[in-house]
Structure 1
Amino acid sequence: MSRGGRDKDRSEPERRCIATGVSGPTAPLVRFVVGPEGDVFPDVAEKAPGRGMWVSADRAAIDLAVKKNLFSRSAKAPVKAPADLSDRVEALLTRRLQDALALARKAGLAHMGFDTVHRRLKSAPVAALIEASDGSEAQRAKLRPMAGEAPVISCLSREELGLAFRRDNVIHAALDAGGVTKTVLREASRLNGLRGHEAVSID
């Protein structure tokens, strides 16, 4: 069983974080590879060729890997990791989450607006509640209890959410279950880690 008490999916690959030493599924990790010039760069899509090095999606873990030269140790060769690597990862994960939310919106799985979200929460369970990190705390306090056990995505600002929904800003949204939902939850979980927000369950 995993630390959360659930049975592991034995078909799910496991990797070891080079900063914390903890092994587990790749979902909460970020993959890094070394380019032709010996530079370390994040492969958040996990498609780049070469041997991958994995670090927890956590700013402190990435900063530690840079500071302690853990990428060179893992690569068994001198490599160059930029000091702002965690900032670069955060920017890439922000864009990936926005893109995933945009796909969910186009598929009719993501719905925005306080009144719309309020109605959906009253009528049926949602896959996730989405709230802007700089939104009204009073309104967030009204919606959160209605979401029950649904994960809460709160790592994007109202402007960042607005880009995903093609609006100037968005404060409240809800996500239904569907084809792209797991992708949204995974990217939200990783970005939450970079920004120090509460973990998002992707089960």
Structure 2
Amino acid sequence: MTDAVRTCILSREESPREGLIRLVLSPEGEVLPDIRAKAPGRGAWISVDKAGLAASRDKGRLKGALSRSFRTGEIRIPDDLEDRIAAQLQRAALDRLGLEAKAGYVVIGAERIEKAARSGRLHLLLHASDARDDGSRKLAQAWRVGSDREGSALKGLTLPVSRTILSLALGRENVVHAGLIDARAAQRTSEALDRWLHFIGPEPDPVSCDSESQGASALPSAVPLTTNIIEELE
């Protein structure tokens, strides 16, 4: 086992740490998410999604696994642990998108994105949850044409956040669509998005990720959500 591999405390399966979520124990004994895996001390790693984590907590399996991992029974699992993890994953994904925008790798505006798509420079296409379907389809078609992949499943990803949140993440106004024009930036962004979207899983809310693999139950074994929406690195 290398330093980059961790074992899920619930499934006992070994997976690369980048695909798992780290939990830590506060000085007061509260279990907290450590999405960036930067907090000091002993950590516990999980690979289940939001629904799986809630089920494990309700059945008592989570507390038992955490007690063994932290070597203490004096732990408190907050009722909103799943929501805290989801919020941190969302923040990490949108922060990554913001960083790529500051580096000049993100284009916004339908016309600019379509131009990048048709010229073969687009590597990842994102839409706000309240984007119009016809606009999203038009950009996806331009992407397929520009990358010589007409008739393929290549398409954009509809994020479970509105244009207001997407605009805040990018520091711009009224961002409905966003495109990444650098392959490695697109890869970094897609990895952050995959962690977030795999964890939250299918929601009862009609705003959801436009992907067949959204409902995967485990991060390491799930097919990346961006498999059909990101251009392969050359």
Q: TM bucket by the smaller chain?
A: 0.7 to 0.9
Partner SS, residue 198 of structure 2: helix
Instruction: State how far apart, in whole Å, the 2-side matches of 1:171 and 1:12 are.
Output: 40
Please give the TM-score of this superposition, normalised by the length of structure 1: 0.81
Aligned to 2:55: 64
Aligned to 1:137: 133
The alignment status of 1:32 with 2:23, answered yes or no, reads yes
- Superposition deviation, residue 48 in structure 1: 0.6
Letter of the 1:128 partner, please give it.
L
Aligned to 2:204: none
1:49 alignment partner, one of 34, 40, 48? 40
Instruction: State how far apart, in whole Å, the 1-side matches of 2:57 and 2:127 are.
Output: 32
The alignment status of 1:171 with 2:176, answered yes or no, reads yes
The alignment status of 1:19 with 2:17, answered yes or no, reads no
**Distance verdict in 2 for CA 1:33–1:161, change over 3 Å:** same
**Distance verdict in 2 for CA 1:87–1:13, change over 3 Å:** same
Partner SS, residue 27 of structure 1: helix
CA contact (8 A) 1:19 1:64 kept: no
Aligned to 1:193: 198
Counting aligned pairs with the same residue, the percent is: 32
**RMSD (Å) for aligned C-alpha atoms:** 2.7
Which of 1 and 2 has greater Rg?
Answer: 2
Letter of the 2:52 partner, please give it.
A
1:107 alignment partner, one of 103, 107, 121? 103
The alignment status of 1:89 with 2:85, answered yes or no, reads yes
CA contact (8 A) 2:106 2:181 kept: yes
- Superposition deviation, residue 150 in structure 1: 7.3
Gaps of 5+ in 2: 202-208, 215-224
- Superposition deviation, residue 153 in structure 1: 6.0
Please give the TM-score of this superposition, normalised by the length of structure 2: 0.71
Instruction: State how far apart, in whole Å, the 1-side matches of 2:171 and 2:48 are.
Output: 27
- Superposition deviation, residue 158 in structure 1: 1.5
Instruction: State how far apart, in whole Å, the 2-side matches of 1:27 and 1:155 are.
Output: 22
Alignment of 1:146-157 (within 5 A): 146=143, 149=154, 152=157, 154-157=159-162
- Superposition deviation, residue 66 in structure 1: 2.8
Summarize deviations over 1:134-177 as a string: whole Å, max 9, x none. 32122222233425557736243222111112234321111122
CA contact (8 A) 2:106 2:180 kept: yes
Letter of the 2:18 partner, please give it.
A
Instruction: State how far apart, in whole Å, the 2-side matches of 1:141 and 1:50 are.
Output: 47
Gaps of 5+ in 1: 1-9
**Distance verdict in 2 for CA 1:195–1:117, change over 3 Å:** farther
